[in-house]
Amino acid sequence: MVSSALQHTSVPTPSGGTPPRPSFGRALAALGLGGFSIGTGEFVIMGLLPDAAQDLGISIPAAGHLISAYALGVVVGAPVLAVLGAKLPRRTLLVALMAFFALGNFASAAAPAYLSMIFMRLMTGLPHGTYFGVAALVAAQLAPDGQRARAVGYVMLGLTGATLFGVPLATGLGQWLGWRSAFALVGAIGVLAALLVWRWIPPLAAGAGASPWRELGALRRKQVWLTLGIGAIGFGGMFAVFSYVKPTLMELAGLPVQGVPFVLAMFGVGMVGGNLLGSRLADKSLMATIFGLLVWSGLVLGAFCLTASNLWLGSVNVLLIGTIVAIGPALQIRLMDVAGDAQTLAAALNHSAFNLANALGAWLGGLTISAGLGWASTGWVGLLLALGGLAIFGVSYAQMRHRDEAPAPTHPPASS
């Protein structure tokens, strides 16, 4: 379980006193804006794949590798930067991560060719997971008593809200001024977020006794790996479908290009609703929520195979696919329960797993399309990945029941 010290830590001052609690709302706004920037930057390429493919002189499935490159950057960057930054003051680390992200997006907007674009998307993804992990810990530390989970959910609301507002806005701008302008917009939002984080987040120190070696201790726990596996496999189906949703609905359902922002907004509505609902369900019954959402994921992804040829049914199905993100808060809480005192690495690895799911889903979806199985075949990929997540969940749950496992304590016994 997360340390009680994290729940009740007061904000220190240089003189050693304890000042009044800083503005919680402004702190959440700054952290959420960073999440909004990252979410927009991560998902906007999915709505501009045909534009990027045409400009770079590649196929649409090849352009899908831009999604995978960013996701792999998150997979690599989350554990590495979380460990390396374990002892840094949290505000300083957040500002550095957001500045790096903004710079990567400006460089992406200027990348001249396919290979350089692949490299820049990889580099831009590096700070993603660590930013969200540290932001979640800061939000929990600053939250009033009894509102920790809600605070973490509000930070994630910036990410899910990006799909509702940021992605359609950036996609529309990209279709108007060229797809590269979308990344320039994301970079500008990132700069603003870095400035607000520096201004509105107090200078919090890293946790007592924080060190790279302590953070690495999370990797010795089987339940940490199983929980990450649930996210990496079970969550991949959403990306298998959504990565190619624009060309799929345009080819099969006759979606006009002007309707693309509307479909992306439908997905965003689903994500926002799923994020809020998932947080509440996880507070009531964590493992049942994870199981139920994996089943739900398989159902709505499999249904896309049948609805993709109908514009209205397909659009509603896209909204339902967006709700799959509800599993995110549940898996975040599960990781915090089983990670002991390696909270920074565990929180960051949650997003690493999700972006491994992004890379895997986009790659497998592109593979089936390139193999001639049809645009709607991504739905079958999603269903199979959801079933894979259920299988890993079954292993995790069986091990938990077999050992009668309770949530890991903050300071586990030396024998654990």
The predicted-structure confidence for 3-49, as pLDDT tens digits, reads as follows: 333 433 344 433 343 334 557 889 999 999 999 999 899 878 877 88
User: Are residues 166 and 67 in contact, defined by beta-carbon separation less than 8 angstroms?
Assistant: no
Look at residue 123 in the predicted model and tell me its pLDDT: 95
Give the separation between CA 69 and CA 21, rounded to whole angstroms. Answer: 40
Here the tokens at position 233 are: 């496999």
- Low pLDDT (below 70) residues in the chain: 1-22, 145-149, 205-214, 217-218, 404-416
Query: What domains, with CATH codes, occur in the chain?
Result: 21-402 (1.20.1250.20)
| Contact (Cβ atoms closer than 8 angstroms) between residue 263 and residue 315 | yes
Q: Residue 84's closest CA among 116, 53, 129, 46?
A: 129
What pTM was computed for the model?
0.75
* DSSP state letters, 319-377: HHHHGGGGHHHHHHHHHHHHSTT-HHHHHHHHHHHHHHHHHHHHHHHHHHHHTTS-TTH
Is the Cβ–Cβ distance between 179 and 55 less than 8 Å?
yes
Retrieve residue 1's tokens: 């379980």
pLDDT at 149: 66
DSSP per-residue string spanning 207-259: PTT--HHHHHGGGG-HHHHHHHHIIIIITHHHHHHHTTHHHHHHHHS---GGG
In this prediction, residue 352 carries a pLDDT of: 79
pLDDT of residue 151: 75
Q: Are 3 and 130 in contact (CB under 8 A)?
A: no
Distance CA 383, CA 368 (A): 13
- Token pair in block for residue 218: 């999370």
List the alpha helices (DSSP H) in 85-166. Answer: 90-110, 114-125, 128-142, 148-161
CA 39/CA 156 separation, integer angstroms = 9
Closest CA to 128 of 179, 69, 184: 69
Note the pLDDT tens digit of each residue in 257-299: 888 878 878 888 898 888 888 877 887 788 999 999 999 999 9
30: Cβ–Cβ under 8 A, 6 or more apart, which residues? 193, 196, 197, 199, 200, 201
